[in-house]
Structure 1
Amino acid sequence: MRNLKTALLAAVLVGSTVFAGAAPAQAAPILRGVYYENSECHRVGNYGIQNGYWPGPYQCVWYPVPTNNPPGFWFLYA
């Protein structure tokens, strides 16, 4: 019984040191908005960083939609 307790304690100590030394994972970008124009996407992206709504950087990504008018949308990720 004493050997079992010693083994469990060793496992807990090793496991806790692994988690204590681990770095936090990088957060995935979150969709912050969808826009018709590139300039509007960048305007809102800069506004969000300057006013503390999200930590930088942001990214505006174009997704074309051939059957639509306008022919696509700008997606803001931050």
Structure 2
Amino acid sequence: MAEPRSDSSGRAASPSWLDAAVGLVRDFGAIITNRPGATLPAWTDAVDANQLPGLTGFALQRIRDLDVGTASLALHRSSVAPKAA
């Protein structure tokens, strides 16, 4: 088992795989929030390169439906129900 890492303050640092997972989840959140659909393929490549079990499966689903996912990110829609006339 790997030795625990510590940061400059001497506190235990998170494992590198956890740091990678946090970064990738944040990046995906930015993709969903800001809707730059063109960045989705690069994100899935980054997930694949890190081989994080839960995220890799999720990214593979995005690759399968990449055209749909990219197109849906380009749409500006609202989740608010339309008002009755």
With normalisation by structure 2, the TM-score equals 0.27
Q: Which has the larger radius of gyration?
A: 1
RCO greater where, 1 or 2, for CA within 8 Å and sep 6 or more?
Answer: 1
Q: Which has the higher strand share?
A: 1
Q: Which has the higher helix share?
A: 2
With normalisation by structure 1, the TM-score equals 0.29
